[in-house]
Amino acid sequence: MARGCEVRTIRLWIVVASLMLSLHSNSILADTALVVQAKKILTAAGKTIEDGTIVCVDGKIKAVGKTGEMNIPADSKILKCEIVMPGMVDVRTCVGLSGILNIKQDSDQLESSSPLQPELRAIDAYNPREELVEYIRSFGVTTVHTGHAPGELMSGQTLIAKTIGNTVEESLLIDGRAIAATLGEGSTKAGKQSPGTRGKQMAMLRALFMEAQEYKSKLAKQTGAKPDKDPNKDTNKDKPSEPVPRNLKLEALVDVLAGKKALLITADRAQDIASAIRLADEFKFKLWLDSAADAHMMIPEIKAAAITVLLHPSMARASGARENLSFQTAAKLHAAGIPFAIQGGFEAYVPKVRVILFEAAVAAAHGLSFDAAIESITISPAKILGIQNRVGSIEVGKDADLALFDGDPFEYTTHCVGVIINGQLVSKGN
- Per residue in 127-177, pLDDT tens? 999 999 999 999 999 999 999 999 999 999 999 999 999 999 999 999 999
Q: Is the pLDDT of residue 226 over 70?
A: no
Instruction: Determine the pLDDT at residue 429.
Output: 80
Average pLDDT, the chain: 91
Q: Please report which confidence band the pLDDT of residue 233 belongs to, taking 50, 70 and 90 as the band edges.
A: low
Q: Tell me which architecture the domain covering 88-223+243-391 has in CATH.
A: Alpha-Beta Barrel (3.20)
Assign a CATH topology to domain 33-86+393-430. Answer: Urease, subunit C; domain 1 (2.30.40)
Q: Is the pLDDT of residue 228 over 50?
A: no
Residue 107's Cβ-count burial label (10 Å; 0-12, 13-18, 19+) is: middle
Q: Give start and end residues of each alpha helix (H) in 258-408.
A: 270-283, 299-304, 329-336, 356-364, 370-375, 379-385
Q: Is the pLDDT of residue 74 over 60?
A: yes
Instruction: Determine the pLDDT at residue 131.
Output: 96
pLDDT tens-place string over residues 334-373: 999 999 999 999 988 888 899 999 999 999 999 999 999 9
Q: Please report which confidence band the pLDDT of residue 239 belongs to, taking 50, 70 and 90 as the band edges.
A: low
How many Å apart are CA 312 and CA 136, to the nearest integer?
A: 17
How many Å apart are CA 318 and CA 320, to the nearest integer?
A: 7
**Domains of the chain: which residue ranges?**
33-86+393-430, 88-223+243-391
Give the bridge partners for 54, in sequence order.
36, 64
Q: Please report which confidence band the pLDDT of residue 182 belongs to, taking 50, 70 and 90 as the band edges.
A: very high
Instruction: Determine the pLDDT at residue 10.
Output: 43
141-147, strands of its sheet edge to edge? 88-93, 141-147, 154-162, 172-182, 262-267, 287-291, 308-311, 340-342
How many Å apart are CA 136 and CA 161, to the nearest integer?
A: 13
pLDDT tens-place string over residues 270-314: 999 999 999 999 999 999 999 999 999 999 999 999 999 999 999
Q: Is the pLDDT of residue 23 over 80?
A: no
